[in-house]
Chain A
Amino acid sequence: MDTLSLEGIRKIYPNGTVALKGVDLVVRPGTVHGLLGANGAGKSTLIKILSGAITASGGTMRLGERQLAWKRPADAMKAGVATIYQHIPVVSTLSVIDNVFLSKTAGWRRSDEDAAKLRRVMEKIGYYLDPDATVGDLSIGQRQMVSIITALIEGAQIMVMDEPTASLGVEERDVVYKVVRQLTSIEGKAVIFVSHFLDEILALTDDVTVIRDGVVVLTARTSEVDSDAIANAIVGRAIEAIAREHAEKSADTGGIALSVKDLASGSRLAPANFNVATGEVLGLAGFLGSGRSEILHAVFGADPKAVGAVTLNDKPVGRSPRAAMRAGMALVPEDRSSQGLFMQSSVCMNISFPYLSSLSKWTVLPEVARERNVAEEMIRRLKIKTSSSESLVSELSGGNAQKVAIAKWLASRPAMLLLDEPTAGIDIGAKADILALIREFAANGGSVLLVSSEFEELLAVCDRILVLRKGHIVAERIASQTSEHELVLLASGA
């Protein structure tokens, strides 16, 4: 097994964006190497160079003594470097064994030899899957295993795993950790492990490298650093700062703004009753499938099956998104690219869209100048990094796109914000900005209903937290009188 070493890797995109300004990286065999960085730091570019999806503009890559140069992903595969992407490219209509041997060019579609080979690999990593199961029926975690097994069958020495745990549940994460340890300590492979979660980086990796603005800002043995050092290397800012500020100006909330009575939706949401006060941030804590998103959609009238009564400032709210908007509510949905934004439209058009009529002459003729003013004001206020308000949203990084998804609602100064995982999959810098924004919104008399699977975040910004499990509200806690530990126990029903 050889050491992978990168020296002075640079990447300048044809449009002039400098993504990497000379990155050095040494990955020892038999180790897990953690790779971290905020969105837009150059992490994904580095992964793409390693996988052969794009070529570097300069620098050298070596595996042992061998100089590496590849033009396409197949070259990287042949050299023994496999990349396991976050969005796993598998053919969901084919079986596990068909997927694993997809790149096979000779021989029959299925042979006993292949089946035996697959069995051996599964034994090696200690993870078993039915070879005939259709991949489309598998969970995300199982699909990830399919791509890991594929990489092993093709003889990978080094595996690059791009946020493998981001979309997994707790149990599936443990499986990934186990397999990664097995691969490195017993099989002697090297794993480059990309993640946003500091705890798993600390627990799993041997070495750690942090990239910021296209250069390496920290590289060390994991045992010699702590989470503070890593977090500081990533941004320098931390969520705690907001939490501290929040605690100092302890919330004095006003009267009831939102009142929800017997709101239910089929089997996914049992009748829920709760209030949100003016200037209050109410958190909804719960795991995937606990009914947390369903509550938001039901309150906003976006769930046609929902029944129950919702009033905002003592006025009943009609059961449709349009009625909710008119009453002063805004919903920022969980998945910004499929639910929140028009990715192929400009930042400006996205921001002006919900309240386009109010920016139009006689409500039907949009006035471009007014739209642009509003968009530019929001870009300034939310510190959205974009070259202009005319840029397409698809050109922005995840954190900035999320800010656009929030900005389009803030422009009209709603009374009530419903936020569904507003910080999922974005870097700590943008996360801190968004959390600060939530506090500021509440301080100015707005009310917020916030869903997040990161309980630490809820504790930092919320005044009160409702815990959900299997569609029921099972507990209510004052944020300052509870802990992450207690919330996890309540939400998991332990």
Chain B
Amino acid sequence: MHMTRLKEEIGLIAPSTTVGSGVLIDEKKENLAVSKSRDPYVLGILREFGVYVALALVLFIVTAIAMYLGKSQPLTAANLSNIVYQASLTGIMAIAMTVVLITGNFDLSVGSVAALVGVVFLMTVGTLGFGIAAILALSVAAFVGLVNGAINQFLGINAFIVTLGMLTGARGIILVLTDGRSLNSTDESAVAAMQLFETTRQPMNVVLYCVGGLFAICGLVGLYRGSTSRVRGVFALIGATIVGGMGILSGPRDTVANPAIYFLVFTVVIWLLLTFTTFGRRLYAVGGNAEAARLAGVNVVGYKIFGFLLSSLAAGFAGLLYVSRLGSTYPGAMQGAELAVIASAILGGTSLFGGSGSVLKSAAGALLLVTLTNGFNLLNLGANYQGIIEGVVIIVAAAIYTVGAGRRR
């Protein structure tokens, strides 16, 4: 019986309790007059879990082709952790971008801000040391975010335009600071600190157990709460089993690079914030209907500026990771990164009109993009074709989310 109900909710079989199509309208039971509209089940499920399904599908296809071509690329925990590592910079920015989009705004300046932070950091790390230089560089990012937010909120200029200007302007500042030349740090202690920050690896099974445990808790809570969250609970439990299984299978020498862990932690923290706190609820409300939120006593301006601030800080953090990884930077670093970041959020089904979006899905979107790129490299498809296929994937994803138009977060 329990399984039957689950299947009903997931939409595998038609509900057994309601007979026929609901033509029985009792004159006295007026409640029936307002019956709930439902999407077709398949489309609904696709919209709800599509990006996860797509991610799994692409992973399997890429693996299958690679193995067929004799280029061994088994789906090991080590390989997966590598994908998470490659997606970490885009992913961290995509999480914050999702928050900006939820508040009904837009941030094009993340690539430039990341590069600017990298430059400021590299210029000062030799004299100030890692910690102070990082704080200084992140303060620059915070300042940029506040300027974006203040211009948008107090002057009422569209976020698209403000951040487009910032994209160009910040890149200009980089050129002034570097005089068009690339930069690197030669200070030995600074290089060591940068490596400690970026290149250190952690034991993989511990990380996997943590993630799996989190999934399991969410899944059980979802099952316990019942109704609509039950489907999510089932998916979370499936995820927990897979992740936990990989934890057991991963060898004792498998490790995860730090940026992947930063990405995971940031995702989880923002997800918890958005899902379970009043702060998160108000953030959605501000994007969904700013005036209604204002009349309900919410500090709309503050929430919207917070979005920009978080986005710039996340971009700054990504910039630190970038320069720490390479030990150097150049004026054109991370140019165009904002496009991959926005694409990730769109793949995750975030609405460009505000009020809806999920950071978990945006994270999956970032992973999906990296997996695709990996696949292309593996198949020797060359950069010429990558753009075409990525473009198609993004538009198809947006089409799936839009067709039928039933928007619900």
CB distance from A350 to the nearest CB of B (A): 9
Taking a contact as CB atoms under 8 Å apart, the answer to whether B34 and A387 are in contact is yes
| Alpha-carbon distance between A320 and B300 when the two chains are bound, in angstroms | 12
| Alpha-carbon distance between A341 and B295 when the two chains are bound, in angstroms | 10
- Measured between beta carbons, the chain B residues less than 8 angstroms from A360 are 278
Per-residue contact bits, chain B 17-30, to A (CB 8 Å; 1 contact, 0 not)? 00001110101001
Taking a contact as CB atoms under 8 Å apart, the answer to whether A321 and B294 are in contact is yes
- B291 close to chain A: CB less than 8 A: yes
Q: Which of A77-85, A115-123, A185-193, A332-340 contacts B (4 or more CB under 8 A)?
A: A332-340
Partner of B285, one of A40, A342, A385, A386: A342
| Alpha-carbon distance between A396 and B38 when the two chains are bound, in angstroms | 14
Given the interface contacts A40-B33, A333-B295, A390-B227, does A365 sit within 8 Å of B289 by beta carbon?
no
- Measured between beta carbons, the chain B residues less than 8 angstroms from A50 are none
Taking a contact as CB atoms under 8 Å apart, the answer to whether B288 and A344 are in contact is yes
- Measured between beta carbons, the chain A residues less than 8 angstroms from B278 are 356-357, 360, 363-366
Instruction: List A300-345 residues whose CB lies under 8 Å from chain B.
Output: 300, 302, 320-322, 324-325, 331, 333, 338-345
- Measured between beta carbons, the chain A residues less than 8 angstroms from B281 are 349, 353, 356, 366
Taking a contact as CB atoms under 8 Å apart, the answer to whether A325 and B297 are in contact is yes
Partner of A391, one of B27, B34, B279, B355: B34
Taking a contact as CB atoms under 8 Å apart, the answer to whether A385 and B34 are in contact is yes
| Alpha-carbon distance between A462 and B387 when the two chains are bound, in angstroms | 67
Given the interface contacts A321-B296, A338-B291, does A387 sit within 8 Å of B35 by beta carbon?
yes
| Alpha-carbon distance between A397 and B35 when the two chains are bound, in angstroms | 11
- B186 close to chain A: CB less than 8 A: no
Partner of A353, one of B22, B228, B296: B296
- Does more than half of chain B's interface fall in helix, strand or loop, or is it mixed? loop
Q: Which residue of A lies closest to B282 (CB)?
A: A356
- A174 close to chain B: CB less than 8 A: no
- B292 close to chain A: CB less than 8 A: yes
Given the interface contacts A338-B289, A344-B408, A366-B281, does A302 sit within 8 Å of B294 by beta carbon?
yes
Taking a contact as CB atoms under 8 Å apart, the answer to whether B296 and A387 are in contact is no
CB distance from A20 to the nearest CB of B (A): 12
- Measured between beta carbons, the chain A residues less than 8 angstroms from B22 are 15-17
- Measured between beta carbons, the chain B residues less than 8 angstroms from A18 are 23, 25
CB distance from A43 to the nearest CB of B (A): 13
Instruction: List B269-291 residues whose CB lies under 8 Å from chain A.
Output: 276-279, 281-282, 284-285, 288-289, 291
- Measured between beta carbons, the chain A residues less than 8 angstroms from B279 are 364
Taking a contact as CB atoms under 8 Å apart, the answer to whether B35 and A322 are in contact is no
| Alpha-carbon distance between A386 and B36 when the two chains are bound, in angstroms | 8
- Measured between beta carbons, the chain B residues less than 8 angstroms from A16 are 21-23, 35
| Alpha-carbon distance between A215 and B21 when the two chains are bound, in angstroms | 20
- Measured between beta carbons, the chain B residues less than 8 angstroms from A338 are 289, 291-292
Given the interface contacts A386-B31, A386-B34, A395-B37, does A331 sit within 8 Å of B355 by beta carbon?
no
- Measured between beta carbons, the chain A residues less than 8 angstroms from B282 are 356
Partner of B34, one of A366, A397, A408: A397
Per-residue contact bits, chain B 232-253, to A (CB 8 Å; 1 contact, 0 not)? 0000000000000000000000
Per-residue contact bits, chain B 334-364, to A (CB 8 Å; 1 contact, 0 not)? 0000000000000000000001100000000
CB distance from A134 to the nearest CB of B (A): 22
| Alpha-carbon distance between A106 and B291 when the two chains are bound, in angstroms | 45
- Measured between beta carbons, the chain B residues less than 8 angstroms from A321 are 294-297
Q: Which residue of B lies closest to A388 (CB)?
A: B36
- Measured between beta carbons, the chain A residues less than 8 angstroms from B225 are 368
- Measured between beta carbons, the chain B residues less than 8 angstroms from A102 are none
Number of residues from A at the complex interface, CB < 8 A: 48
Partner of B292, one of A322, A341, A387: A341
| Alpha-carbon distance between A386 and B32 when the two chains are bound, in angstroms | 8
Q: Which residue of A lies closest to B353 (CB)?
A: A344
- B7 close to chain A: CB less than 8 A: no
Interface centre among A16, A40, A320, A354 (most CB of B within 10 A): A16
- A144 close to chain B: CB less than 8 A: no
Taking a contact as CB atoms under 8 Å apart, the answer to whether B356 and A364 are in contact is no
- B181 close to chain A: CB less than 8 A: no
Q: Which residue of A lies closest to B227 (CB)?
A: A390
Taking a contact as CB atoms under 8 Å apart, the answer to whether B21 and A344 are in contact is no
Q: Which residue of A lies closest to B40 (CB)?
A: A14
Taking a contact as CB atoms under 8 Å apart, the answer to whether A392 and B408 are in contact is yes
Q: Which residue of B lies closest to A368 (CB)?
A: B225
Interface centre among B37, B227, B277, B282 (most CB of A within 10 A): B37
- A376 close to chain B: CB less than 8 A: no
- Measured between beta carbons, the chain A residues less than 8 angstroms from B34 are 17, 40, 385-387, 391, 395-397, 400
CB distance from B44 to the nearest CB of A (A): 13
- A12 close to chain B: CB less than 8 A: yes
Taking a contact as CB atoms under 8 Å apart, the answer to whether A12 and B21 are in contact is yes
CB distance from A341 to the nearest CB of B (A): 6
Taking a contact as CB atoms under 8 Å apart, the answer to whether B408 and A322 are in contact is no
CB distance from B356 to the nearest CB of A (A): 7
| Alpha-carbon distance between A300 and B295 when the two chains are bound, in angstroms | 9
Instruction: List A263-294 residues whose CB lies under 8 Å from chain B.
Output: none
Q: Which residue of B lies closest to A409 (CB)?
A: B296
CB distance from B268 to the nearest CB of A (A): 16
Q: Which residue of A lies closest to B35 (CB)?
A: A17
CB distance from B76 to the nearest CB of A (A): 38
Taking a contact as CB atoms under 8 Å apart, the answer to whether A385 and B289 are in contact is no
CB distance from A236 to the nearest CB of B (A): 13
Taking a contact as CB atoms under 8 Å apart, the answer to whether B38 and A15 are in contact is yes
Taking a contact as CB atoms under 8 Å apart, the answer to whether A213 and B27 are in contact is yes
- Measured between beta carbons, the chain B residues less than 8 angstroms from A397 are 34
- B407 close to chain A: CB less than 8 A: yes
A→B interface (CB under 8 Å)? 12-13, 15-18, 40, 213, 300, 302, 320-322, 324-325, 331, 333, 338-345, 349, 353-354, 356-357, 360, 363-366, 368, 385-388, 390-392, 395-397, 400, 408
In addition to A12-B21, A320-B297, 12 A-B residue pairs with Cβ atoms within 8 Å of each other are A12-B23, A15-B37, A300-B295, A322-B297, A338-B292, A342-B288, A342-B292, A344-B356, A366-B278, A390-B227, A390-B228, A395-B37
Q: Would you list the 5 A-B pairs with minimal beta carbon distance, nearest first? A: A16-B22, A322-B297, A354-B296, A15-B37, A321-B297
6 examples of A-B residue contacts, CB within 8 angstroms: A15-B35, A16-B22, A16-B23, A345-B288, A353-B285, A365-B278
